[in-house]
């Protein structure tokens, strides 16, 4: 799909930051800087674009579910009312992969491509990667990108629901993790998960297993009102399965409607409960496997499902299926 009218949606982040008394801080006024720089990019063929800014611009370390929903609203307006046929979202790098994962599921069936990018150094700083990432993403859209959510960084076009930030001091900070993906694909996207359906904020939590974790700690987290818990398990989906109190806490939470999902802590891991008895015991509490999904994608998917109002059984059903390439090649 070749872009002819591009929505550039600016949310803040390092790419547009300027120096303040306390250090680099988000700043408005990026459209003028972008147009001035484009005039110097004489060797690039770029699509026409309109600029929208989500106010106030933020450091992406402050990213929240409310920000994700505001992005979706702005993207819908740009596509449905302004006639844009592609979107470039400018975003800070700290939570860029989380937003790419969440938007992959919040924008299911959107008929245009959405590219997210940012930079490791602010635009205008000597040696910055900002303009190369920004105009490189625009050029990719000009040449044609499939509908769906993608991340463009350091010259690479990456799958939005497979990407993670792996470094904090190099330009090639993002990569698709080589995880085993062989889940069953959904035959179609249900109407309840279409990008036009409204979403509500949801209380979610992420908890890694670690040696010495106590049942009381897990119980306290589950008692906080979470509707979904993403457990980062060892290896192929194991954990302290000899702790009867911990298993009971998980089972009780599942019984009262909490969605429990399991991912692997390993960078190249995937969850397969039946490999070890410890994994099978954990699964018996009601955990649903995330297969080879990343933390970022799994968290975003839980939000999209539960935020759409799905009940526990419905959310577990769709979580277990591949919706956009997050768990199946």
Specify the DSSP class assigned to residue 182: B
Would you state the structure tokens that stand for residue 226, as one six-digit string? 């979470």
Of 245, 229, 231, give the one whose Cα is nearest residue 302: 229
Q: Which residue has the tokens 């600016």?
A: 10
- CA torsion, ordered 269, 270, 274, 278, to nearest 10 deg: 50
Q: Distance between CA 149 and CA 164 in Å, rounded?
A: 14
Specify the DSSP class assigned to residue 157: E
DSSP per-residue codes, 13-28: SGGG-EEETTEEE--S
Asked if residue 215 lies in contact with residue 246, where contact means CB atoms within 8 angstroms, the answer is yes
Cβ contacts of residue 163 below 8 Å, gap of 6+?
97, 100, 101, 151, 174, 175, 176, 177, 294, 296
Sign of CA dihedral 146, 51, 137, 171: negative
Q: Distance between CA 174 and CA 206 in Å, rounded?
A: 21
Would you state the structure tokens that stand for residue 46, as one six-digit string? 């770029």
Instruction: List Cα–Cα distances, 16 to 26, 139, 253, 284, in angstroms.
Output: 6, 20, 43, 48
Sign of CA dihedral 158, 162, 166, 168: positive
- In angstroms and rounded to an integer, the radius of gyration of the C-alpha atoms of the chain is 20
Which of 14, 93, 95, 285 does the annotation list as catalytic?
A: 14
* Strand 18-20 relative to strand 5-12, pairing: unpaired
Say whether 14 is catalytic.
Answer: yes
Which sequence positions are flagged as catalytic? 14
């Amino acid at each position: 799909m070749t872009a002819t009218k591009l929505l550039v949606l600016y949310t803040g982040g390092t790419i547009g930051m300027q120096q303040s008394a306390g250090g680099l801080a988000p700043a408005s006024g990026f459209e003028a800087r972008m147009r001035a720089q484009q005039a110097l990019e004489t060797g690039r063929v770029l699509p026409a674009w309109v600029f929208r800014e989500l106010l106030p611009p933020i450091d992406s370390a402050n990213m929240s579910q409310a920000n994700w929903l505001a992005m979706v609203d702005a993207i819908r307006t740009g596509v449905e009312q302004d006639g844009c046929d592609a979107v470039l979202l400018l975003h800070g790098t700290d939570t860029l992969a989380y937003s790419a994962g969440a938007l992959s599921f919040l924008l299911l069936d959107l008929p245009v491509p959405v590219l997210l990018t940012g930079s490791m150094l602010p635009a205008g700083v000597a040696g910055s990667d900002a303009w190369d990432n920004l105009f490189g993403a625009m050029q990719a859209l000009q040449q044609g990108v499939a509908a769906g959510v993608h991340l463009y960084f350091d010259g690479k076009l990456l799958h939005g629901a497979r990407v993670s930030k792996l470094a904090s001091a190099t330009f090639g900070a993002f990569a698709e993790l080589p995880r085993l993906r062989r889940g069953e694909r959904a035959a179609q996207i249900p109407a309840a998960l279409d990008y036009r359906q409204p979403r509500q904020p949801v209380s979610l939590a992420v908890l890694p297993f670690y040696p010495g974790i106590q049942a009381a700690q897990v119980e306290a987290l589950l008692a906080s009102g979470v509707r979904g818990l993403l457990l980062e398990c060892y290896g192929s989906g194991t954990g302290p399965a000899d702790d009867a109190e911990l298993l009971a806490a998980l089972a009780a939470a599942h019984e009262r409607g909490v969605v429990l999902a399991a991912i692997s802590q390993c960078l190249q891991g995937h969850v397969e409960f039946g490999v070890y008895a410890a994994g099978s015991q954990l699964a018996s509490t009601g955990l649903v496997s995330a297969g080879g999904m990343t933390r970022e994608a799994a968290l975003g998917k839980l939000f999209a499902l539960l935020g759409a109002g799905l009940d526990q059984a419905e959310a577990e059903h769709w979580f277990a299926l591949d919706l956009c390439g997050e768990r199946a090649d």
